[in-house]
Each structure stands twice: as structure tokens, then as C-alpha cells.
Chains A and B, each alone.
Chain A
Amino acid sequence: MIYLQLLISFLKIGLFSFGGGYAMIPLIQREIQSHGWLSPSEFVDIIAIAEMTPGPIAVNSATFVGYKAAGILGSLVATFGVAIPSLVLIMIVSKFFLKFQNHPANKMVFYGIRPIIVGLIFASAIFVAQTALIKQGASNGSLFTNSLSVLDLKSILIFVLSLIGLVRFKIHPIVIILISSILGLLLT
């Protein structure tokens, strides 16, 4: 029952993801991979599309994955699944949460969680790098064992250029994506 699987997977994603956006990527990727709903490169394409369209990445990927797995009804079910935990939790615990917001124990819990979220976002960058920077057909994970022979030079070039554009020249992410798509067309 594909609809039920989609619902459960995206309920889990909605329920277990902290820190929003990029920190959710390892979680979403795990669910997608275990069900074989998308290929790794299709998943990276969703992240790219999510970056260029309005709305949260979680909703964008839910809609996209749901559609690829089971059509329009699938995308409805997945989107519903990812939004429901927020809806229910906010209505039940938000008031309680406001009371304890400034409690030292609560503050220390988030002191511990915040670095984990940074780690998760770095993990996302590594996941995406495995798909984006190695040659098609090279096995997953070989990025670490045999990096020189499997790295795709054209991709490395775009990676470095976009890094410079973002850090040094503060170019807007959407412009970076547009330029890199043109580079992708020109360098094939």
C-alpha cells in the first residue's frame, strides 16, 4: 500500500526533523532510499528545485517524492503527512513550551542540539557531494576511498566557482543556480 508508506514516511520526517531545511536532508534521503522512490540524483534535483521555488524544502520534497512515487494523490498524501506533526504538536505543546522556554535545563538541551544540526547540514553537503561531484557510474562512497579517479572535473569546477561566488561576492543563491545551469549546458 504505497499511500500508507508515503504517509508514514513523511509523518516520520515531519516529526523527527529539527532545525529546518537542510538539516532535514539526511532524514528525507534515508526514507526515500529505503523505499527506492527516487534515485540519488533525482533527490539532489529536488533540492535544487526547492531552492528556486517558494516554500519550505520539507513541503517541496514531500510533494515531489509523492508525485514520483504515486502520482497526484501520492503528493497530496505525502504533503499532508509532513505538515500534520507540526499542526498537532503546536496545538498541544506550544503553550507548555512557552512556559519552559527560559528554564536552564531547556536551554542546555538546545545548547546540545544546535551543534548536532550543524553536523547534520554538513552531512547533507557530503551526501549531495557524493551524487554531484563523482562521475556517473562510480560506486557510492568511493569519494573517500579513491577520490582522484572518480571526481568529475566539470562538476568540481562549478562547485569551486559557486563557492567563490557565494562567499567572496555574496551572489544570491538563485543567481548562482541560474549561472551554474548555464555552465552545465555549455560544458557538456
Chain B
Amino acid sequence: MKKNNQFKLLMELFFTFFKIGSFTFGGGYAMIPLIEREVVEKKRWVSEEEVVDVFAVAQSMPGAIAINSSTFIGYKIAGKRGAVVATLGVVLPSFFIIALIAIFYSKFQDAAAVKAVFSGIRPAIVSLIAVAAIRISKTSIVDWTGLILAILSSFSVVFFDVHAAFAILGGATAGLAIFIMFPKKTEKILSNGGNKN
């Protein structure tokens, strides 16, 4: 009987995250409200406070935010199996869709019409990314130090081919160095919350 319930819970987890994975466009951040609605309001698997913690951890650990939050919620609800099942659920929809698109794209990418369509889309992607950068900078860059770090990271990655992982490590080191060497500045930053979120 208990085994049966466990199986039922795992199936429910899988289909809930399959649904979340099927309907969120635009990646991780777009997924947050949908996860909240499904997991907190509808299924009542975790509380509102818990889900806030989940998103905090998901955003501060490496990996896709959508996968991190799904894995974490699955793990909280049904242990290791739950983590695996939730991850599968959230990944599979995009896997199927993209595999299908990749098959067609490979066949038709040299057709004149397809080329024209993508030559129109590519410049729009530049503006999408630039706007995202500006939007995120509003909460992520709170002072001059932040601005300098952001410029340094762009420059080092674009012009000196520095690996993104090293840039991240550099940022973490800078933050830690301020914490150790400048307690007054640290206090000031933390009293503002460290970010504007």
C-alpha cells in the first residue's frame, strides 16, 4: 500500500513538472510564478516560505534555474527519486520539442526562405539580450564597485577570451575580499540588503 502511494506521488510529481516544462517560455525566471502556482497553491507540497528558499538556492547554485528549482522541490517532497523524477519531468518537454525542431532545421536550414527568416531574427536577439542585461543590472549593480566588476567581466570575456567560470570566481573573490578587508563598506552594502531585490 505504501509503495503504491509512493508510486502515485512520483507520477504526480513527474506530470506536474512536465506541465511546467511544457508551458514556460523564456527560461528559468519565467518559470518561477508557474512553479509557485502548481507546487504551493494547487498541490500544497511546500509552503510559500519554503518555495522562496528554493528559488534563492536555485539562483545561487550553478546550473539552469528551472532545473535547480525542480530538482530541489522534487527532493524535498520525495527524496532522491523525487529529485530525479521532477528533473526528468521539467527537461523532457523541451528535449522532445527541440529534437523535433533540430531534425527539421538540419533539413531546411539552407533553404532561401529559412535563411531569410533567421537573418531577420538574429538582430532581434541582440536587442533581447541587451535589454535583459540592462533589466538585470538594475537590481544587480548597486554601487560603483558593482559597475566596475560588470565592465571588467564584459571586457575580459569579450576581448581577452577569459573563461566565464574564471570571471564568476573573480567576482566571488572580490566580494569576499571586501568582506575581509573593508568591514565598514561590507556593513554599508549589507545594510542595503546587498541587492535591491
Residues of chain A touching chain B, judged by Cβ–Cβ distance below 8 Å, are 14-27, 30, 41-42, 44-45, 47-60, 63-64, 67-68, 72, 75-76, 79, 82-83, 85-87, 89-91, 93-94, 97-98, 101, 104-105, 107-129, 131-133, 154-156, 158-159, 162-163, 166-167, 173-174, 176-177, 179-185, 187-188
Are A108 and B175 in contact, with the CB atoms below 8 A? yes
Are A101 and B56 in contact, with the CB atoms below 8 A? yes
> Which chain B residues lie closer than 8 Å to A45 at the CB level?
105, 109, 118, 121-122
Residues of chain B touching chain A, judged by Cβ–Cβ distance below 8 Å, are 21-29, 31, 53, 56-57, 59-68, 71-72, 75, 80, 83-84, 87, 90-91, 93-95, 97-99, 101-103, 105-106, 109, 112-113, 116-133, 136-137, 139-142, 145-147, 149-155, 157-158, 163-165, 167-168, 170-176, 178-179, 186, 189-190, 194-195
Looking at chain A's contact residues, the main secondary structure is helix
Are B127 and A163 in contact, with the CB atoms below 8 A? yes
Looking at chain B's contact residues, the main secondary structure is helix
Are B91 and A90 in contact, with the CB atoms below 8 A? no
Are B109 and A182 in contact, with the CB atoms below 8 A? no
CA distance in complex: A167, B164 (Å) = 28
- 4 A-B pairs with the lowest CB-CB distances in the bound complex, closest first: A184-B120, A55-B94, A112-B175, A119-B153
A-B contact pairs, 23 of them (CB 8 A): A19-B59, A22-B129, A30-B163, A45-B109, A52-B25, A54-B24, A58-B63, A89-B62, A90-B71, A97-B57, A110-B60, A112-B171, A113-B168, A113-B172, A117-B140, A121-B129, A131-B122, A158-B124, A159-B123, A162-B128, A163-B131, A180-B121, A184-B120
Closest chain A CB from B126 CB (angstroms): 5
Closest chain B CB from A58 CB (angstroms): 4
Are B164 and A17 in contact, with the CB atoms below 8 A? yes
Are A174 and B25 in contact, with the CB atoms below 8 A? yes
> Which chain A residues lie closer than 8 Å to B24 at the CB level?
54-55
Contact of B118 among A27, A41, A97, A162 (CB under 8 A): A41
> Which chain A residues lie closer than 8 Å to B65 at the CB level?
20-21, 56
Contact of A90 among B83, B132, B136, B175 (CB under 8 A): B83
> Which chain A residues lie closer than 8 Å to B155 at the CB level?
119
Given that A42-B109, A54-B22, A54-B25 are contacting pairs, would A158 and B120 also be in contact in the complex, using a CB cutoff of 8 Å? yes
Are A16 and B141 in contact, with the CB atoms below 8 A? no
Given that A87-B71, A122-B150 are contacting pairs, would A113 and B122 also be in contact in the complex, using a CB cutoff of 8 Å? no
Are B150 and A51 in contact, with the CB atoms below 8 A? no
> Which chain B residues lie closer than 8 Å to A18 at the CB level?
60, 62, 168
Are B94 and A123 in contact, with the CB atoms below 8 A? no
Closest chain A CB from B171 CB (angstroms): 3
> Which chain B residues lie closer than 8 Å to A79 at the CB level?
91, 95
